[in-house]
Amino acid sequence: MAKQKKQPRPKAMTPKGFRDYFGAEVTQRSEMLRAIGAVYHRYGFEALETAGVETVEALGKFLPDVDRPNEGVFAWQEDESDWLALRYDLTAPLARVYAQHRNDLPTPYRRYAMGPVWRNEKPGPGRYRQFYQCDADTVGSASMAADAEICAMLSDTLEAVGIARGDYVVRVNNRKVLNGVMEVAGVLDPSDPEAKAHERGIVLRAIDKLDRLGVAGVRALLGAGRKDESGDFTDGAGLSDEQADIVIGFIEARGDTGAATVARLHELVQGSDIGVQGVNELETIAELLSAGGYGPDRIVIDPSVVRGLGYYTGPVYEAELTFEIFDEKGRKRQFGSVAGGGRYDDLVKRFTGQEVPATGISIGVDRLLAALREKGRIESRDVGPVVVTVMDRDRMADYQAMVAELRNAGIRAEVYLGNPKNFGNQLKYADRRRSPIAIIEGGDEKAAGIVQIKDLILGAQIAENATLEEWKERPSQIEAPRNQLVATVRAMLDRQS
């Protein structure tokens, strides 16, 4: 009889495009989400948690920048007819929830949501197939006050999590204004919206590259095209010089104040009804924000914002961090965008048949966390629990009593559960856990009614930097009465912090 082949062991590896998050990262994210949620709650928004899975029908057209059905999502067929998919953002589930429960929800409905989303895209450096988003949306209000509120709330949120004023700017534009500029430039015909769609796409992508290519590079892409440093040629939109001048005037329209920017945009969209409507909306948003004390040091009207304009129907927003960091090649660059959003009045209509106005913002949680680490606002080192060492395995009840006292006092603590035979291994374990303190009680200490409390953080600093005399002046291990265990540990933790 042939020998049966052994089943190969599974490979212990994370699937491509995914990653694991360990203690400090999870804790830091949770704390940041709590801070964000507190701001949203203060603004009157209600929490909503939807399932991670939606029907493909409910998700509808998937990612804004992908044309093919099912592209960009993880989908599977439940039976012969029903297809399900992991949610790719938190907005599509909101549209379904509002359509399904609109008779039971207030109008307008303010909600915020936080959680993972999944995108079946090619992974790259810092680009994962699963990541966290943090959204806030207002459904059921066409008022520009809803858009101004979202922008103000985004500004307050960035400051609440530790991004100082001056290190960020919330930039606001309007899809209708760009449509008006396109109309004036002869690239958009309101009676035939599909005409010249290809050229408009090139114009949008060209404007989006302004910060990288500069005005000259954008102008080349608006015209015949552009050859980059490697010799690769990118076809342009084929606009004439006069048409290109109108578009360049649009992206350079930002003035020193919102009023100055709005005045210049009014000049550019004369003759386009949709353009005038969009500029009026921006003017209203600027006035409302100014009345609330949100000046150009926090929020600006900026016509160069075009990301996602194919998806949105009115105002759009982008939060950009303006401080400099060093990239992987040691070059200075700005950190860039950490949040984006805008008005999308057509999304709920898919379910109801009626247009339902909506506007909202989405924060990229991982990028914002990375920004906070760059600014030193989050400690990269996570402090572990106090470790109660085990000197006598027959006295485990004594050690459990100690750890219970510490926990009941609100101090994070644990008993060493490995083999207690080698005490050195217990201290190595405490180091790996990044423990601030180790508690030691052998038989002699038990008989004397005392415990040894070892300051592991100070001990490491002394071993690395201090002389013998300094060691004598600042002992890293102290003796304390057993009944003062909690008070002594708390005092040591306070000194460490």
Output the pLDDT for position 106: 95
Report the chain's mean pLDDT, rounded to a whole number. 88
Task: Extract the tokens encoding 406.
Answer: 């510490």
Residue the block writes with tokens 């035939």:
192
Q: Are 135 and 360 in contact (CB under 8 A)?
A: yes
Query: Is the confidence at residue 467, as pLDDT, over 70?
Result: no
Return the C-alpha torsion angle 129, 131, 133, 139, nearest 10: 30
Q: Are 23 and 382 in contact (CB under 8 A)?
A: yes
Please write the tens of the pLDDT for every residue from 268-298: 898 899 999 999 999 999 999 999 999 999 9
Secondary structure of residue 488 in the 3-state scheme: helix
Task: Give the tokens for residue 112.
Answer: 């915020």
pTM: 0.83
Can you spell out the DSSP letters for 24-41?
Answer: HHHHHHHHHHHHHHHHHH
User: Which two structure tokens, joined as six digits, stand for 353?
Assistant: 């048949």
**Quick one: pLDDT at residue 310?**
67
Q: Using one digit for the tens of pLDDT, what is the confidence trace for 349-368?
A: 888 888 899 999 999 998 89
- E strand or H helix at 427, and its extent? helix 423-432
Lowest-confidence segment of 4-8, 64-68, 255-259, 428-432 by average pLDDT: 64-68
Q: Would you place residue 66 in the very low, low, confident or very high pLDDT band (cuts 50, 70, 90)? A: very low
What whole-number distance in Å separates Cα of residue 391 and Cα of residue 370? 42
Greatest distance between any 2 Cα atoms in the chain? 94
Amino acid at the residue 371: A
What CA–CA distance (Å, rounded) separates 251 from 204?
11
Residues 6+ apart with CB under 8 A from 463: none
Residues linked to residue 85 through DSSP beta bridges, in sequence order: 54, 75
Tokens of 298: 């926090």
Q: DSSP 3-state assignment of 356?
A: coil
- Sort residue 410 into left (φ over 0), alpha (ψ -120 to 50) or beta: left
Give, in order, the Cα–Cα distances in Å from 183 to each of 43, 191, 273, 495. 38, 11, 10, 66
Domains of the chain: 23-194+249-374 (3.30.930.10), 386-496 (3.40.50.800)
Higher pLDDT, 35 or 467: 35
